[in-house]
Amino acid sequence: MLVESKRFSSYDIVFFLCIALEVLFSIYAKKFFGQTVNSFGYFFSSLAFGLCLLAKFYKKTVIIAAPASRRWLAGIFAVLCLLAVIIITIDAGKIMTRIPIGLSSSDVIPTVQELCTRYLNGSFVYEPIEKFGYHLPVTYLPMQWMPYLIAEKGHFDYRWIALGIWLLASVIVLVRSYRSSSIIVQVSGPLALALSYFYICYYNDTIIGHTIEIMVAGYYMLLICSLNSSNAIFRGLIIGICLMSRYSLLLWLPLATAVVWWAEPRKQFWQTVITVALFVGVIYIIPFLSKDWGLFYRGYKYYDTSALGEWKHINTATGKPFHLYAGQGIAFKFFELDTIPITQRLKLLQKAHVICSLGTTLILGIWYWFKRNNINHRIFLMGSFKIYLAVFLFFIQVPYLYLMIVSLFVSIVIFFEQSQYRLKPIS
- Residue range(s) defining the domain that contains residue 111: 10-425
Q: For the chain, 427 residues long, give each residue's pLDDT as a single digit of tens.
A: 334 444 567 888 899 899 999 988 887 655 678 899 999 999 999 999 999 999 999 988 887 766 555 666 677 777 877 888 899 999 999 999 999 998 888 889 999 999 999 999 999 999 999 988 888 888 899 999 999 999 999 999 999 999 999 999 999 998 888 776 677 777 777 788 888 888 888 888 888 999 999 999 999 999 999 999 989 999 999 999 999 998 889 999 999 999 999 999 999 999 999 999 999 999 999 999 998 888 877 877 778 888 898 999 888 888 899 889 988 999 999 999 989 999 999 999 999 999 999 999 999 999 999 999 999 999 999 999 999 999 999 999 999 988 999 999 999 999 999 988 877 665 5
Contact (Cβ atoms closer than 8 angstroms) between residue 178 and residue 73:
no
**80 occurs within a structural domain:** yes
**238 occurs within a structural domain:** yes
Confidence at residue 298, expressed as pLDDT on a 0 to 100 scale: 80
Q: Residue 423 belongs to what H/E stretch?
A: strand 421-425
**4 occurs within a structural domain:** no
**Phi, psi at 386, each rounded to 5°:** -65, -45
**2 occurs within a structural domain:** no
Contact (Cβ atoms closer than 8 angstroms) between residue 171 and residue 85:
yes
**193 occurs within a structural domain:** yes
**Phi, psi at 136, each rounded to 5°:** -130, 100
HSE-up of 31 (CA within 13 Å, CB side)? 1
Confidence at residue 5, expressed as pLDDT on a 0 to 100 scale: 43
**1 occurs within a structural domain:** no
Q: Which of 174, 252, 254 is nearest to 218 (CA)?
A: 174
Q: Which of 405, 9, 14, 22 is nearest to 215 (CA)?
A: 405
Domain count, the chain: 1
**5 occurs within a structural domain:** no
Confidence at residue 136, expressed as pLDDT on a 0 to 100 scale: 86
The 3-state secondary structure of 288-351, one letter per residue: CHHHCCCHHHHHHHHHHHHHHHHHCCEECCCCEECHHHCCCCCHHHHHCCCCCCHHHHHHHHHH
Q: How far is residue 26's CA from residue 21's CA, in Å, rounded to a whole number? A: 8
Q: What is the DSSP letter of 283?
A: I
Confidence at residue 73, expressed as pLDDT on a 0 to 100 scale: 67
**165 occurs within a structural domain:** yes
